[in-house]
Amino acid sequence: MPARQKGRNVVKLILDTDIGTDVDDCLALAFLLGSPEIEWTGITCVYGDVLLRARMVAKLLTLAGRPDIPIRLGASQTLLGIRSIYWEGHEGEGLLEASPSDPHIDPENAVDFIIRSVMDDPGGIHLLAIGPLTTVALALSIEPRLAQNMAGLTIMGGALRGRESLDLPIAEHNIACDPEAAQVVLASGAPITLVPLDVTTQCRIQREDVALLRARGDAFHAAVADQVERYPFFARHGYTYLHDPLAAAVMLRPDLVELTSVNVAVETEGRLTSGMTVMTLPKADSPAPVSVALQVDAAAAEGFIRERLRA
């Protein structure tokens, strides 16, 4: 059970992020920085230009007055090295200077850091993965006992695509970027909570929410608001989805969603379905099931996220 501090559950956290163009990683970090339950173990950056991602994290931490939170670099390539890296090209605009100095990055590799942190504190560390699962898969491959020693592993990723959600993509981005890594993680037996597109697309941040962030009047909240407004999807539509913040919120408040125990396999070879998460009801001889959020109290989740973003 997590420790308690002043009436709150304390969550010792490692955040694994691919912060970049899509502003949901930035919002998830802001949400977590506004959450007093979080006891930071560290932040790891995954996929593509991980140093640029680390620079974004470091700038936000400095603006928030939390430069003490350590940052480590994770996998820049996919697990098998057979898939190209998707890069939208907007990463860091408006947040990083033209010629910034590199932030202080702990030299320990993120894979080694995750293994060491979890194995030194069995049942104590929660891992929140809001990017492609390459670094987590590497850690589990090197140290399979990691799965049984995590306090929990919350993942933003995947999609069930029921009858009411056929408009969702067949393969969600985080899974599709490295399906082989996702399959390793989802079959590991770790205590996984999966927060898929079926629920994250029901939760939004709107223009009025961004105005409330700016109204806080400090550099950190202004930077977060600016990143939201620069995100191309938000600029076109006046809202964007709270994918990663919802995963963070579910980690702290599982009551926001209805969890269903399923087996999840990842399609790695399909010509039309690569990265698809295939969810089936558990059977006696099937691998360890995953708890998947398939229903959400969207109003309560949005309210909780807004509250922490403004903290």
DSSP 149-184: H-SEEEEE------GGGTTS-SS-HHHHH-HHHHHH
Q: Are 53 and 90 in contact (CB under 8 A)?
A: no
Active site residue 90: no
CB neighbour burial string for 157-175, b if at least 16 within 10 angstroms, e if fewer: bbbbbeeebeebebbbbbb
Compute the distance between CA of residue 191 and CA of residue 185 in angstroms, rounded to an integer. Answer: 10
- Residue length, the chain? 311
* The amino acid at 205: I
Which of 212, 206, 170 has its CA nearest to residue 302? 206
Q: Which residues are catalytic?
A: 243
